[in-house]
Structure 1
Amino acid sequence: MAILEVENLSVSFKRYTRGFKQVKSNVISSLSVEVEEGEIMAIVGASGSGKSLLAQAILGILPRNAIVSGGIKYGGEVLTPPRQRALCGREIALVPQSVNSLDPLMRVGEQVRTSVKSGNAAAAQKEVFERYHLDANVEKMYPFQLSGGMARRVLISTAMVSGARVIIADEPTPGLDERSVAEALKHLREFADSRCAVLLITHDIESALKIADRIAVFYAGTTVEISPVENFRGNGEELWHPFSKALWRALPQNGFVPIPGSQPHPDDLPSGCLFAPRCGMASAECGEALPDMRKLRNGSVRCIHAT
């Protein structure tokens, strides 16, 4: 059963150019993804593809000039702004990308304890710090006294003690040593195995493959493919979308084959398929309209040529 459902989400921003002319930038278009109980859904894609904006839309923390359409549901019910405010930090927890999210005026141990909703907060904080190899004296430190890796472990600790049913982990492993990366991934997997859900936003496909159940590939603000993790292997022959295949083959261990061209800017999106200008399979039909996501075997894809 899906805990979190995003259906045809579109996000644009109003801004002004020279001469106070108002323009609208479409940064997310017809994006759909869902996360089920007991599942880790990894979101991968290039910078600027809409991964972090998706997290902000779910949590209701987009900038005030954002225009949002489409639907987001939690537990089968629409996530209205009041419901987002009520659930954020309680049933839906965020591991943010920036370590600057920590309160600079509060000791980090106290920050973690405020996220504990039931039971002994001090004991929960002590246990999670031990789990992430944070010494006992760290709880009395302020954020500016932490290294980048320590601060990231504190952020992960805050989400882990919250008792949330959904964790959105936005690039949770940069700055961590190899052991801490393994620990963070392990505990995200344990969280999912307890019948909760994890939305893992990452550039690190290799780490995602170790713990994810499915992987959603984003391009230029939309979902182009959602596939089970086992499809990401070999030369990418079991992947369906041309961008997914190209992204997989661009990894150093898979040939390091570059993708010609670049991801389009939100102010200059092509008509039709957003990947068509870079795609060797593109036809005239690809330029007519953005393809719908359609089911294909054990996943879904946004490409008229995928079989």
Structure 2
Amino acid sequence: MPILEVENLSISFNQYTAGLKRKNIQVISSLHVTLEAGEILAVVGASGSGKSLLAHAILGILPDNALVSGTIKYNGELLTPSTQASLRGKEIALIPQSTNYLDPLMRVGNQVRTSVQTGDATLAQRAVFKRLHLQQTVEKMYPFQLSGGMARRALLSTAIVSDAKVIIADEPTPGLDPVVMKEALNNFREFADNGCAVMLITHDIESALMIADKIAVFYAGTTVELAPVEDFTGNGEALRHPYSKALWRALPQNDFTPIPGSQPHPSDLPTGCLFAPRCTMATSACSEEQPDMRNIRNGMVRCMHAT
């Protein structure tokens, strides 16, 4: 049984426009993703595709004007606001994208120690700082005294010492030098090998390929493909969705071929398949309704033309 299951998740926001008219904007629709204990699932896609919103929905930290439907289960049990609050930071830990999540009024060492659930908190904090190449003097500093890379390592430290069963890492590597980035990625792999489940949200597909077991590709607020990491190779011929193939070929180390057009804004989504306006395989049927996710070649894809 997956440790984390997200089924048919949809998220919209109530916003007020000119003249105080209320408008509902759909930002995530029919999103599916599962996470197994002992595996790393990398979530990739363009900015605005819903990756961070998924993390916030799992943890129950969306803003008050968010409307959420669908189900999120942890160990087979439906997550409710109260269970999310009880699990947050304990069994489900977030490494947030923004370093502003650090408390500006608390010394960094103390912040990391608050995440330690068993054993000596000071020893655990100092051990993880050494592991991530943070000097012991850093524990006495406040967040404003840290560089961007140091702040990210401090956030990473809170997850490492938490003994969480699920770690959601939202863009954890920007600003890290290559040595520390490799250490951080190795930590995630070690978590998974010890039975933890890791969701790595990233733009850096190359880094994800180093440690991930599966990759979920997001586009315009939904999952378009879930594939084993081994499928991201060659010219992308093993991939199933046209967007996944185009995204892979657009990388500098591959063809470096740009994808025509741009991802649609949530307020102006096309009918039917969300990628159809940019897809060379699109037919008139693609604009009628959004395809369901289906199993193909040991993966899942949301495309009626995939084989």
What TM-score do the two structures reach when normalised by structure 1?
0.99
**Alignment partner, residue 174 of structure 1:** 174
**Alignment partner, residue 131 of structure 2:** 131
Instruction: After TM superposition, give the deviation of residue 224 of structure 1 in Å.
Output: 0.1
**Alignment partner, residue 232 of structure 2:** 232
**Alignment partner, residue 208 of structure 1:** 208
- Counterpart residue type for residue 41 of structure 2: M
Instruction: After TM superposition, give the deviation of residue 209 of structure 1 in Å.
Output: 0.1
Instruction: After TM superposition, give the deviation of residue 299 of structure 1 in Å.
Output: 0.7
**Does residue 1:110 correspond to 2:110, yes or no?**
yes
Hey, what's the Cα distance between the residues in 2 that align with 1:104 and 1:21? 37
Structure 1 unmatched runs, 5+ = none
Hey, what's the Cα distance between the residues in 2 that align with 1:63 and 1:138? 32
Instruction: After TM superposition, give the deviation of residue 297 of structure 1 in Å.
Output: 1.7
Instruction: After TM superposition, give the deviation of residue 136 of structure 1 in Å.
Output: 0.8
Q: Report Cα offsets for 1:156-215 as digits up to 9, x if no partner.
A: 000110010000000000000000100000000000111110000000000000000000
- Counterpart residue type for residue 202 of structure 1: T
- Counterpart residue type for residue 295 of structure 2: K
Instruction: After TM superposition, give the deviation of residue 258 of structure 1 in Å.
Output: 0.6
Instruction: After TM superposition, give the deviation of residue 80 of structure 1 in Å.
Output: 0.3
**Alignment partner, residue 70 of structure 1:** 70
Instruction: After TM superposition, give the deviation of residue 22 of structure 1 in Å.
Output: 1.1
Hey, what's the Cα distance between the residues in 1 that align with 2:113 and 2:16? 43
Instruction: After TM superposition, give the deviation of residue 31 of structure 1 in Å.
Output: 0.2
**Does residue 1:295 correspond to 2:295, yes or no?**
yes
- Counterpart residue type for residue 220 of structure 2: A
- Counterpart residue type for residue 224 of structure 1: V
Q: Report Cα offsets for 1:273-301 as digits up to 9, x if no partner.
A: 00000000001110110000001121100
Instruction: After TM superposition, give the deviation of residue 237 of structure 1 in Å.
Output: 0.4
**Alignment partner, residue 155 of structure 1:** 155
SS in 1 for 2:3: strand
- Counterpart residue type for residue 292 of structure 1: D
Q: Report Cα offsets for 1:46-74 as digits up to 9, x if no partner.
A: 00000000000000000100000000000
**Alignment partner, residue 16 of structure 1:** 16
Instruction: After TM superposition, give the deviation of residue 19 of structure 1 in Å.
Output: 1.1
What TM-score do the two structures reach when normalised by structure 2?
0.99
Q: Report Cα offsets for 1:59-115 as digits up to 9, x if no partner.
A: 000010000000000010001000000000000000000011100000000000000
Q: Report Cα offsets for 1:225-255 as digits up to 9, x if no partner.
A: 0000000000000001000000000001111
Hey, what's the Cα distance between the residues in 2 that align with 1:105 and 1:19? 40
Hey, what's the Cα distance between the residues in 2 that align with 1:141 and 1:261? 46
SS in 1 for 2:15: strand
- Counterpart residue type for residue 76 of structure 1: G
- Counterpart residue type for residue 155 of structure 2: L
- Counterpart residue type for residue 188 of structure 1: F
Hey, what's the Cα distance between the residues in 1 that align with 2:175 and 2:82? 35
Structure 2 unmatched runs, 5+ = none
- Counterpart residue type for residue 242 of structure 2: P
Instruction: After TM superposition, give the deviation of residue 20 of structure 1 in Å.
Output: 1.3
- Counterpart residue type for residue 174 of structure 1: P
Count of residues paired in the alignment? 307
**Alignment partner, residue 59 of structure 1:** 59
Identical amino acids, percent of aligned pairs:
72
Q: Report Cα offsets for 1:106-158 as digits up to 9, x if no partner.
A: 00000000000111111100110010001111111111111110010000000
**Does residue 1:48 correspond to 2:45, yes or no?**
no
**Alignment partner, residue 121 of structure 1:** 121
Instruction: After TM superposition, give the deviation of residue 271 of structure 1 in Å.
Output: 0.4
